[in-house]
Amino acid sequence: MPRIRPTTRKALLTLHLVTSLGWLGTDLVLLTLGIAVQRGADPAVVYPVTALVGTVLFAPLSVLVWLIGVASSLLTPWGLLRHRWVLVKLVLTTVMVGLVLFLLTPNLRHAGVVGAALPARDRADLVIAPAVSTSLMIIATVLSTYKPWGRRPAPRPTRPRSPLPHPVDHGVMVPGSDR
């Protein structure tokens, strides 16, 4: 594992915190906009804004958070696979980034284009997705704060097999022996 100076490590941590908070804040904005439409705001006005926020902020921030998190774990003593909480965060973040890039962002763009013609089921998805995402980000934050579960067990080195020991007769005369 490469060692980095403490000031570089702190700068990387600060960058990870800033981008993560930006991602969470943007997610809360998307949730707020989705709820606003459910409560009667004009979808022809709100959905183009959600498409802009999702495309310009949310998607790029999700990728940045993932990249900076992976770099941080690889360049610091935490390691990428050394601690269970880091591994869980990596899986959560990877899944969320995939969902953001391949599901939510296209849905936000579609909603921005069709506006008020978006079906009610799709409108609900634009509330549910940011609500779930916000919950997962809060879980990731709790994992980072409390660092539960400790280290993963180190892989056990494989030892070469020794030959089976000879049976001990404990002084008993074995038939056919030279004793």
Q: Write the pLDDT tens digit of every residue in 130-165.
A: 999 999 999 999 999 998 887 777 667 776 666 565
Residue 18, φ and ψ in degrees, nearest 5: -65, -45
Q: Which residues of 94-132 are buried (b: 16+ CB within 10 A; e: fewer)?
A: eebbebbeeebbebbbebbeebeebeeeebebbbebbee
Mean pLDDT within 84-109: 95
For 72-87, what is each residue's pLDDT tens digit? 999 988 888 888 999 9
Name the pTM for this structure. 0.80
- Asked whether residue 107 carries a pLDDT value surpassing 60, the answer given is yes
